[in-house]
Structure 1
Amino acid sequence: MTSRLPHKLRSDARDNRDRVLDAARELFAERGLDVPMREVARRAGVGPATLYRRFPTKQTLIDAAFAVEVEQCRSIVHDGWADPDPWRGLCRMVQQLAELNARNRGFVDAITAALPSPADLAAHRASLLHKVADLCRRAKQAGALRPDFVLDDMILMLLAGRGLAGTPVAVRRDAARRFAALTLEAFRASPTTAPLPPPARVVPTVHG
């Protein structure tokens, strides 16, 4: 009897942790990172003490909730950086980041959490941004990326893309692809007549 009790306690603790993480992911995806910790506890069906025992600060909860997305982001950036064709790598990176961004409203908030400026972001995410900067430098040298592009423009793209998570689920992927294509046209050194991806009807009553 006593030998089974610690196992049950460990199992209950794991269940509570999983419920908290699921609730946090749902709320962050729906509303961003401004959700109070007590609301996460209510959604998870646990008391505040249980929540704070597992995650003593909001930042530890954010880090755990977005661990998968952060790893996906790192993989996307690395794969784009490793492409021998820098413009192709940059295009793929922008497209995949837009789709990742569309899946979760809190994602960009998470990777820039507590970082008030791009300079601070560079200090805390040096390895990731170093690869982005190197990829953009090579794309400029190849004549594909506009010469007045700066790294802050990529951050602007990520911040603007936060709104993709608020589009209807049925068109969210199309919206992300269209947004990425429009962004890349703005980044491109020379205009192109290549067709854009199909439009996403994010507001059904608007036609153009």
Structure 2
Amino acid sequence: MARRADAERNRALVVRAAEEVFGEAGIDVPMSEVARRAGVGIATVMRNFPAREELIEETFLAAMRDYATAAAAAAADPDPWQGFRGFLGYLVRVQGGNRGFNQVLTTMFPGAERLEAERQAALRDFIRLVGRAKAAGKLRADFSPHDLPLFLLATSGVVRPGSEALAVAGRRLVAYLLRACEAGDTEPLPPAPGARELYRALENSSRGRPA
């Protein structure tokens, strides 16, 4: 019984350390740094999380659930344009609070089924929100729900955890983006890339690999 309690304690230490390290420096931090911050050996980390993806899922699942909840709340807003505006404002706040989650939002993890299920739930609600905002005549007709990664990319390039000046800049950027999204602009947009291709390109870009 004591060994099991020790194992659970060590697992909790690893997850807590990952929350700190990934939040500060991003999800590509060496696992050895997670072990060091947790005060355990690298073997303990690897025994609990043989793949980095598993640790990322455990670390950010709650945050991704909050993201899905925010999308659902926006989709249920009686004023869909207000819901759309509020959701984009939420994205800037959450990206500015955690560098690792900033990356997770623009990276797909095929093996992390729980994480991806929450992402897909958020996308479904965002699609519903977009449809309602268009029906209300507030959102431009050619806006695609799959433009969401573009918004994430644009805001992630500005916001940084702990910087109030960049948080202000992020809110200003969202205001510009919202003006561009409003119905009334009749000039057509360039075609959107495929959603999976875009996520893959974003992931490679964030990790310094060719798109």
Kindly indicate whether the alpha-carbon contact (under 8 Å) linking 2:140 and 2:183 is maintained by their aligned counterparts in 1: yes
Deviates more, 1:150-159 or 1:84-93: 150-159
- Which blocks of at least 5 consecutive residues in structure 1 are unaligned? 1-5, 117-121, 192-208
- Equivalent position amino acid for 2:22 in 1: F
Could you give the per-residue CA deviations for residues 105-151 of structure 1, whole angstroms, max 9, x where no partner exists? 121422443459xxxxx998433212111211221121111122112
* 2:94 aligned partner: 100
User: Which residue, 54, 60, 72 being the options, matches 1:66?
Assistant: 60
Please list the CA deviations of residues 19-57 of structure 1 after superposition, one character each: whole Å capped at 9, or x if unmatched.
212221222223322222222212222111100121121
Tell me the TM-score normalized by structure 2: 0.74
Corresponding position: 1:34 with 2:34? no
For normalisation by structure 1, the TM-score amounts to 0.75
* C-alpha separation in 2, matches of 1:126 and 1:91: 20
Structure 2: how far apart are the matches of 1:162 and 1:16?
A: 33
Q: Which residue of 1 aligns with 2:151?
A: 157
RMSD: 2.7
Q: Highest Rg: 1 or 2?
A: 1
Unaligned runs of 5+ in 2: 111-115, 186-211
Match of 2:178 in 1: 184
User: Kindly tell me: are residues 135 and 98 of structure 1, through their superposed partners in 2, closer, same or farther at Cα, counting changes over 3 Å?
Assistant: same
Q: Percent identity of the aligned residues?
A: 41
Q: Give the aligned partner of residue 199 of structure 1.
A: none
How do 1:1-208 residues align onto structure 2 when only pairs under 5 Å count?
6-7=1-2, 9-114=3-108, 125-166=119-160, 168-190=162-184
**Distance in structure 1 (CA, Å) of the matches to 2:21 and 2:177:** 28
Task: Flag the 1:49–1:123 CA change in 2: closer, same or farther, 3 A.
Answer: closer
Aligned in 2, Cα 1:21/1:164: closer, same or farther, shift over 3 Å?
A: farther
